[in-house]
A and B are shown apart, each in its own frame.
Chain A
Amino acid sequence: MVEEISDPIKKKIKELTSDENEQKFLLGLLQKTARYNKQTKPLVIKKEFAQLLDQYFPLKEED
C-alpha cells in the first residue's frame, strides 16, 4: 500500500496544472516522499526521483 495523498492536495494539483502527466508526476513525488524517513539515503531519493522523471518526461529525440 502506498500512502494516499489527501483530496485537497489532489484538487489543488489539478488547479495548478492541466497537464495530466505533470499531475501524476507530482503525485508520484509526494507518494515517494511519504515513504522516506531520516535514514533514507540521498542517493536512493535521487535515483527514485530520477526514475519518476524518466517515466513521465523521457528525453525525446526532438528535445
Chain B
Amino acid sequence: MSEIKIISVEIENFRQYYGNSKIDFISRDEGFTVIFGYNGEGKSNFLNAVNWCLYGDEIHGSGDTITDAGHAENKTLPVINNNCIAETKDGTVANVKVDVWLQIGTTVYSIVRTLKILKHRIETRKLSSGRDEAIMVDVDGVRVPKGCEILETKFSVLEKKEGASDFSDTIRFSAPENMVKEILPNDLSEYFLLDGEFMEKLWKSNKPIRDGIERISQLHLISGASKHIQANLMIPGKGYSKDTNDLTDKMRAFDRKITSKDESGNESFSDEERYKVDPEEDTVNYHSTGEPRIQDIDDDINRINKRLIDLSDEIRRLNLSGQEKLKEQKAELEKKCEEFETKYKDANKTFLFNLTKYGPQLILKNAIKEGLELIEEEIAIGGLPVKYKRLFADSLLDSKTCVCHESLEPGDERTKHVEKFKEGLIGKEELDDVALLGDEAKRFFLDKYDEYCLDRFGTPRKNVSKLKKEYDELDQKLAGVLTKISSAGGEEGETLIQEQRDLQEEIKKLNEWKTDTIIEIKDAKRQRGDVKRQLQKALKLNDKAKKAVHELKIWDRTVILLEKLLDSLKESVRVNVQEKTWENYHNLLANPSEFEEFSIEPDYTVHLIDKFGNNKAGNLSAGQSLLMTIAFVAAIREPTGYKFPLIVDSPSGKIDGPNSHNIGMRLPYFLPDAQLTLLVTNKEYTDFISPVPEIPDLPNTPVCKLFDSDGTCEHCKKSFGNLKMQHWKIVKDRTEGTGNSEIKPAKLEYIDKDESHRGWTVIVNE
C-alpha cells in the first residue's frame, strides 16, 4: 500500500488560531515534525482542526482543564476565532478554513473545509468580573456567537497528479466525504490523530482493540462482504414454481430468525430491557433472536465488564481514601492518647504526693487542735511569746525602773530579780516557733479545713479521674479506628460491592441467554441448510432457474472463500499484533519486569499480567496506558502495511523520568516508515528530565536532545536519535486572553540567562 503523508495544514481563524497559520510537515526519512506549545495554547485544537477538516467533527480535548466558567476550554470557544469575529463588521462575512494537503504515492490531495459566517449584532452577557462575554449557541452542531449566521459550509477534495501544474476539482469527487473515507477513514482517525485522552482509555474495553486490529487490517471488509452476500444474494428470487416459492419463503423465515427481522423486514425486539450504565439512558430492548441478539448480549457483557472495572477502581479508591482518613485519625488519636496519658500520670503523681505529704496532718487534726489550745492558753497568760518577755525584761533594765516604778539600780535585790527572770528565758525561744506553727495551723488548716482538703486531695483526685476517663475514651476510639482500618469503605463501599455482585449475576444471566441463542441460531442454520438443499434440487429441475442456480453456486463458494480468508487472517494478524505490541512495550518501558505476560485473546480481550498474577489491562496508570497505546498503534501498522501518518498529542505527558528517557531514546527508532508529528509541551520535551531516587545516575538530558544528539547514552548504552526535527511553535499573546494563537516556524535553542533561566527551549525563527 502506498504511504499516506501530510504535506501541510493551513488553519484560518479556527477557534484560538487567529489569522492564517500554515505548517509544512517533513517526511519520516527527513525526521520528526514537532509542534511546541504550552498548555492551553491550542495543541488539542490543532488536532481538532485536522479532524474537523477531514470529517467535520472535533473529538479531541474533551477532558481538558475545566475553566472558571465550568467548561473545557476547547469547547467554550466558538468555531470562528474570537478576534476575527470582533474585527468583522456587522453585516459582513468572515471565513473559517482548514486546508489539509495529503500525498498518496505521487498524487497530492487538497482537502478543504470552509465555513462562511455572516455577522449580525453579537449578543453578550455581563460576567461577575465586569467583562462582557459573547453568548454562544450551537447552529447545526457548530458553536458560534449568538448573532452569527452560517451562510455556507463548503467541503472539497482537489487532486493534483504527478506532473500536473495545478489542482483539479473533478467530477469524481462530487462526494468528497467518500473520497476522504477511502484515504483516511474517519473510524480510524483515533489511531492516527492520537490524543492523550484516547491513549489513556484505549485499554479500558476490547472494542477499540478489535476496531484497531480489524479495521486497519481491513478484516471488516471481508466479514462485511460475506454478510452482504448472505443477506442479499443467497436466496433466489421467486417465480420459478410453487415448490421453489415455498422453499424460498421457508429460507427467508429462517433468515429473519437469524437476523432478528419481522416479516416487513424491520428489526424485531424482545420485551427484555438492556443494561443501563446510567439510569438516565434511554431504554433499549434486546433483539428478539439471532446474531443481533448475540451482538447486544456481547455489547452488554462488555459494558458490564467495563463498569465492573470502574467499580473495582471506585471500591479500591474508596478503601484507600477511607484507609487514609482512618490512618490520619489513628495518628491523631495516638498523639492525643499519649498526651492524655502523660497528663493523667502527672496528676496522679501530684495526688499521691499530696496524700503522702498532707495525709498525716488529717490524722493528727485533733492532736493539733489540742496543742493549739495549750498554746493559746499560754499566750493568754503571757507565757508566750518568749521573745516579748525578754524585750520586756530588757526595757525594765534599760530604763532602770521597775513595773512598780521603784528604781532598779545595779546590784539591788530588785534588779537581780529582773536579771534572773531574763536569764530564765534562755533556751525557751523554740516555744515561739511552736506558737507560730500553731498560728499557721489555725489559719491555714483548722480554720480552712474544707478548703485545705479540697485543694490537696479533692481537686487532684477529681483531676486524676477526669484525665483517666478522657484517656480511656480516646483509647477506646483508637481501638475502634484500628478495627475499622481493616474493613474500610463504609456504607458507600457496601453499595458498590452490592452493585458488583448484581452485575456479576447479570453477566451470568446474559451468558445463559447467549448460550440459548447460539443453540437457536445453530438449529435455524441447520434447518435452513436442509431447505436450501431441497431448493437447489428443485431449481436444478427447472430450466427457467438456470441462472439462479449458477449464481447460487458462485455465491456459496465465495462465502466459503471469504470465511476462510477471514479466519486465517484474523488469527495471524491478532497473534502478530499481540507479539509486536509486547515487544514494542518492552522497548519503550524503563521497568519491563513490571508485567510478566501480555495476550490478545480471539475475542480481543486483553490480558496484561503483573508479577502477582493479576490482569492489569483495565487498570493501567495514565503513563502505562500511554506507552501501551503507542506500542499497540506501532504494532497494528506492521502486519497490515497500512502506512498512515501519525500526529501524537503529548506523547510523554504523564510519564515519569525513566520512561521519558526511554521514550526519548526509542521513539526515533520506532515506526521507521511512519510520518510522525509530535505536539509537545515544555514539560515533556525541553525540560530537564526529573531524577528519581531509584535511579540516581539517570541523566537529566531533555527529550529534545535525546532525539537529536549523536553518539551513545552512557546510562542506557543505546544510540541517541541523531534525528532532524522541524520545529513549529504555537505563539499566543497571553495579554489578550483566549483567541490569538498562531503557529510559526521555530528552532531549538539553549538559553543561559541566569540560574533559574537556563536550559533548552523552542523559539520562533527570527
Contact = CB atoms under 8 A, between A and B. Distances in A.
Interface of A: 1-9, 12-13, 16-17, 22, 25-26, 29-30, 32-37, 42, 45-46, 49-50, 53, 57, 59, 63
B641 A37 contact: no
B228 A7 contact: no
Contacts of B555: 53
B707 to A, nearest CB: 31
Given A8-B640, A26-B558, A29-B225, A53 B569 contact: no
B217 A8 contact: yes
A16 B551 contact: no
Nearest to B555: A53
Given A26-B558, A59-B546, A42 B231 contact: yes
Interface in B179-237: 179, 181-183, 217-218, 221-222, 224-225, 228-229, 231-233
A1 to B, nearest CB: 6
Interface in B438-466: none
Given A26-B565, A37-B181, A42 B642 contact: no
29 contacts: A2-B182, A4-B2, A6-B640, A7-B641, A8-B572, A8-B573, A9-B217, A9-B218, A9-B222, A9-B565, A9-B569, A16-B561, A16-B564, A26-B558, A26-B562, A30-B221, A30-B222, A32-B225, A34-B182, A34-B221, A36-B228, A49-B229, A49-B233, A50-B233, A53-B551, A57-B550, A59-B546, A59-B547, A59-B550
Interface of B: 1-2, 104, 172, 178-179, 181-183, 217-218, 221-222, 224-225, 228-229, 231-233, 546-547, 550-551, 554-555, 558, 561-562, 564-565, 568-569, 572-573, 639-642
Contacts of A37: 181
A9 B562 CA distance: 11
A60 to B, nearest CB: 9
Contacts of A16: 561, 564-565, 568
A6 B225 contact: no
A1 B182 contact: yes
Which of B551, B572, B639: most chain A CB closer than 10 A?
B551
Contacts of A45: 228, 232
A50 B550 contact: no
B222 A63 contact: no
Given A6-B217, A6-B640, 11 more contacts: A1-B104, A1-B183, A6-B1, A6-B642, A16-B561, A22-B561, A26-B561, A26-B562, A33-B224, A49-B232, A63-B546
Instruction: Report, nearest first, the 3 A-B pairs whose CB atoms are least far apart.
Output: A46-B232, A33-B225, A3-B182
A25 B225 contact: no
B554 A57 contact: yes
Query: Main SS of the interface on chain A?
Result: helix
A39 to B, nearest CB: 11
Contact of B232 (A2, A4, A33, A42): A42
Contacts of B2: 4
A9 B217 CA distance: 8
Contacts of B225: 29-30, 32-33
Nearest to A9: B218
A32 B183 CA distance: 15
B1 A33 contact: no
Contact of B558 (A29, A36, A46): A29
B228 A1 contact: no
Contacts of A29: 225, 229, 558, 562
Which of B2, B564, B565: most chain A CB closer than 10 A?
B565
Nearest to B550: A59
B233 A46 contact: yes
Nearest to A13: B565
A42 B568 CA distance: 28
Contacts of B224: 33, 36
Nearest to B219: A9
Given A1-B183, A34-B221, A45-B228, A7 B1 contact: yes
